[in-house]
Amino acid sequence: MEAKREVFSSRWGLILAALGMAIGCGNIWRFPRIVAQNGGGAFLIPWLLFIFLWAIPLLLIEFSMGKATRYGTVGAFNKLMGKKYSWMGAWVGFCTMAITFYYSVVTGWCIKYFLAGIVDGGVGTRSTAYWDSFTHSYQPILFHFIAMALGSYIIYRGVVRGIEAANKLLLPSLVVLLVISAIRSVTLPGAWEGVNFLFHPDWKLLLNYRVWLEALSQSAWSTGAGWGLLLTYAVYTKKREDIVLNSHITVLGDYSGALIAGLAIIPVAFSFLTREEAFEVMASGNTGLAFIWLPKLFTKMPAGSLFMSLFFLALLFAAISSIIAQIELVTHIFMDFGIARHRAIVIVGSIGFLLGIPSALSINFFNNQDWVWGLALMINGLFFAAVPIKYGVSRFRKELVNTEGSDITVGRWFDYVVKYFIPLECVVIIIWWFSQAITGNPTTWWKPFEVNSVGTCLLQWGIILAIFLIFNRWIASAIVKKDEKEAKE
Amino acid sequence: MELGAIIMMIIIGGGVFGGFIYCLQLAIRKERAKKEMD
């Protein structure tokens, strides 16, 4: 059985794939916006702490689960938590799949804007109208199709010739593009005011709980911890592959990418705008910043359309390297149910394209899905923490994390973080985001068909959770059937 | 740039980039050692 499974050809192939998974749009369009809205330097301190209080422990859990069980999310929860808990793995897989539906739409937007930067010099001068006419047309469906087809094709080629080869091209190119953008950005007149803002510590802000919660949210959404993606990649690792050092490299690489993106974007805003205007730009939301304001700002700099194209190419590379991990995760779940890999990819690609169409056609639907399934990732964190807690955290660390081949070992701090911090963080962050939704929409927060309401989360989560709980026995037996089939072979 | 911002840049930038490069170097050394042992 082991001989049949394709594995990453080298440790570097795995690390590049893991970095590609982690460095996505969250680093490039979210981090600079969130750091600017939360006081610059002061935000960076809790953000740094959550490396150890969220990202690394969860990635260690994911990596260990995938490597130990050699199953995707459903099978891994089934094997380590017990058959009764297979629904937890199904929930984790569904969350990432739901994110893939609209993430592919974002990838499509990046393709469009990269091409637009090359052929249409007017994107920046009439950016709001351009964005509105694009998103109100049928074009996003075409670009969403291209993104999903491209991601599926890479996965179709296999682990080494597909995932590994794509990331060997995408990751170094992404780093070069981000570094070029950052150098251009900090060499603009007045740009250092932006750099100063990025790192200036306003210590009073550390007493503001909002800064801490935003830092935790950023760490959770950007590093890929709790998505189940690293768990899936870990299935394809060699038996003696290190877990601890590779997880550290993944998180620190992701954070490095975010800092470079911050240096590439924040100084541009401070260079061309007043301080107040720069804050207004940063408060304009992910899509507002990336697709309306940045194209506008790029027109103000020499060779602006070239730098705009380079920026969207970087965003595109970051998005593709993440979406292939997402498609692989869902594909692997289908494979665990006994469906052949190539057939599973066709099914996942087709479902992903069809269910992404509503997000491609409606920004409100897109925002709703981003709200519902982005927040659901916090529940994933809770589920992942539950695995070592049920298994015995110390035992989990000794048997599954600090395994043969580990370059460094993880200490007892892991036990405390997993047992106390991660469950607390999950609960606090969900309550906080819900309270934000309630205070922001005091009369409509409970309505299930509002874009950013508590009601829409509870309705959609409830439906999916109910389905998986009802069919849990069937889900668990499908994994067992696959085991029996492989044992016979 | 203010002194506080410069210090923070060194701490945060050094911590993140330095940590990343240190971990990568450690991985390179460990891989080399494993190859030599094999």
Which H or E run contains B22?
A: helix B19-37
- CATH number among 3.40.1190.20, 3.40.50.360, 1.20.1740.10, 2.60.120.620, domain A11-488: 1.20.1740.10
Distance CA(A99)–CA(A103), nearest Å, equals 6
In terms of Cα–Cα distance, which of A487, A183, A155, A215 is closest to A349? A155
For residue A79 the two structure tokens come to 């094997």
d(CA B8, nearest CA chain A) in Å: 6
pLDDT value of position A225: 94
Contacts with A200 from chain B: Cβ below 8 Å:
2, 4-5, 8
pLDDT value of position A2: 43
Distance CA(A407)–CA(A246), nearest Å, equals 9
Contact A213, A286 (CB under 8 A): no
Distance CA(A66)–CA(A71), nearest Å, equals 6
B28 touches chain A (CB under 8 A): no
Category of A136 on φ-ψ map: left (φ > 0), alpha (ψ -120 to 50) or beta: alpha
Domain definitions of chain A by residue range: 11-488
Contacts with A45 from chain B: Cβ below 8 Å:
12
Work out whether the CA dihedral B13, A17, A221, A362 comes out positive or negative. Answer: positive
HSE of A479, CA atoms in CB hemisphere, 13 A: 27
φ and ψ at residue A442, rounded to 5 degrees: -60, -25
- The whole-model pTM stands at 0.94
Distance CA(A14)–CA(A243), nearest Å, equals 11
Q: Which of A8, A47, A199 to mutate to test the interface with B (most CBs of B within 10 A)?
A: A199
Interface of A with B (CB under 8 A): 11, 15, 41, 44-45, 48, 192, 195-201, 242, 245-246, 248-249, 252-253, 255-256, 259, 407-408
In terms of Cα–Cα distance, which of A18, A2, A35, A416 is closest to A248? A18
CB pair distance less than 8 Å for A407 and B17 = no
How does pLDDT run along chain A (489 residues), one tens digit per residue? Answer: 444 679 999 999 999 999 999 999 989 989 998 998 888 888 999 999 999 999 999 999 999 999 999 999 999 999 999 999 999 999 999 999 999 999 999 999 999 999 988 886 678 788 889 999 999 999 999 999 999 999 999 999 999 999 999 999 999 999 999 999 999 999 999 999 999 999 998 899 999 988 998 899 899 889 999 999 999 999 999 988 999 999 999 999 999 999 999 999 999 999 998 888 888 888 777 788 888 888 888 888 888 888 889 999 999 999 999 999 999 999 999 999 999 999 999 999 999 999 999 999 999 999 999 999 999 999 999 999 999 999 999 999 999 999 988 899 999 999 999 999 999 999 999 999 999 999 998 999 999 999 889 999 999 999 999 999 999 999 999 887 777 777 776
Residue type, A406: S
CB pair distance less than 8 Å for B20 and A407 = no
pLDDT tops 90 at residue B2:
no
Nearest beta carbon to residue B16 from set A45, A200, A252: A252
Q: Which of A197, A241, A252 to mutate to test the interface with B (most CBs of B within 10 A)?
A: A252
B37 touches chain A (CB under 8 A): no
Contact A51, A255 (CB under 8 A): yes
Distance CA(A302)–CA(A152), nearest Å, equals 38
Distance CA(A466)–CA(A469), nearest Å, equals 5
> To which residue do tokens 């990732």 refer?
A377
Work out whether the CA dihedral A148, A151, A153, A159 comes out positive or negative. Answer: negative
pLDDT tops 70 at residue B14:
yes
d(CA A367, nearest CA chain B) in Å: 31
